[in-house]
Structure 1
Amino acid sequence: MTFPEIADLLTIQFGDLQINTQNLQPFLIVPTERLVAVCQFLRDDERLFFDLLACVTGIDNGLDANTMEVVYNVTSIPYEHNLMLKVVVPRNAGGNRLPSVPSVAHIWRTADWHEREAFDLVGIQFENHPDLRRILLPADWVGHPLRVDYQEEEQYHGIKTK
């Protein structure tokens, strides 16, 4: 199935989704509140059967854009088609709260570790994640190092970091 066919099918099912075909790999921008329903449909619909969540990536678009993105790369192994989805969220969800996106770990088990990595490094919360905690950095690490405004501490437990 081609990207336009998949996009048409999702538009019929979920209404108007933002479609971007300007890049080498086209993608759909999904509203945060529809993410779980879209992902569930992608996996469960027999015409699509996206059975593999290959990657979840968190991106900080910087202070000027004031947004972050979560990018999902999904694959249907038997049908041999791929799809990229994006969710765009504000950098700070009010005050100093981290941006938040629903977890898809109950749809694709591999999301468990991918979401933990995005949380750890970029600082994106995943609502209803079964075990959202740091995966690469120590539990008491301060901040999220892939955020553009990250300030590295001078020391960590008496060890110079700079």
Structure 2
Amino acid sequence: MAKLENETLIGYLREAFGEEISGVEEPFGLLSITTAKEKILEVLAFLKTHKDLQFIYLTDITAVHYPEQALSIAVVYHVHSLVNNRRIRIKVFLDGNRPEIPSATSIWNGANWMERETYDFFGVLFQGHPDLRRILNVDEMEVFPMRKEYPLEDPNRVDKKDFFFGR
């Protein structure tokens, strides 16, 4: 089999999903695509099971918070084809007020802890997850610390006032 190039991979995805694949980019050679949350499981299953692609290794699931956008939470999947030595990033943008997306645990068992961590830090609810609960933060925590909803520093700190530094 010839080496799998990004153009070939995009061709496979466009043939299977058409306009459901958007936001195609190649930062530093890493193919990045965007899809809808309704299609994410189909796209992931296609990448994993297609005989020429074989993206069988789920590297990571995480999220990014873009507070200035309407769809402010992006869930990001990184998958790797060990056979073709090719990686792809798949992004899904969600409403930040109620970020819900289907769980990928039906495709990869290893998605379990990655989804729990993403829930713990960003508040993304993975529908159908077998045990969605906090994994690193305390259970009583009511906020999601990786969201950009809080000031970077406490405005009431007195040790950073100018008069302490002769200004």
Normalised to the residue count of structure 2, the TM-score between the two structures is 0.82
RMSD over aligned Cα atoms: 1.4
Measure how far apart 1:77 and its partner are. 1.3
Deviation at 1:7, TM superposition (A): 1.2
Alignment map for 1:7-156 (pairs within 5 Å): 7-16=10-19, 17-21=21-25, 23-24=27-28, 25-62=30-67, 64-66=68-70, 67-92=72-97, 98-150=98-150
How far residue 102 of structure 1 moved from its aligned partner, in angstroms, is 0.8
What fraction of aligned residue pairs are identical, expressed as a percent?
30
2-structure distance, mates of 1:35, 1:135: 24
Distance 1:85 1:19 in 2: 10
d(CA) in 1 for partners of 2:9 and 2:120? 32
**Number of the residue aligned with 2:160:** none
Cα deviation, 1:2-32, whole Å, max 9, x if unaligned, reads 1121111011011111142253233110111
Give TM-score, length-normalised by structure 1: 0.84
Give 1:150 shift.
4.6
After superposition, give the CA deviation of every residue in 1:39-83 in whole Å (9 maximum; x if it has no partner).
111111111111110011111111x21311011110011221111
Structure 1 residues not aligned, in runs of 5+ = 93-97, 152-162
Counterpart amino acid of residue 87 in structure 1: V
In the TM superposition, what whole-angstrom CA distance separates every residue of 1:86-120 from its partner, at most 9, and x where no partner exists?
0011111xxxxx31011111101111111100100
2:162 aligned partner: none
| Secondary structure of residue in 2 paired with 1:142 | coil
The number of aligned residues is 145
**After TM superposition, what 4+ stretches of structure 1 lie above 3 angstroms from structure 2?**
none
Q: Separation in 2 of the partners of 1:118 and 1:31? A: 18
CA–CA distance in 2 between the matches of 1:33 and 1:14?
12
- CA distance in 2: counterparts of 1:37 and 1:26, whole angstroms: 18
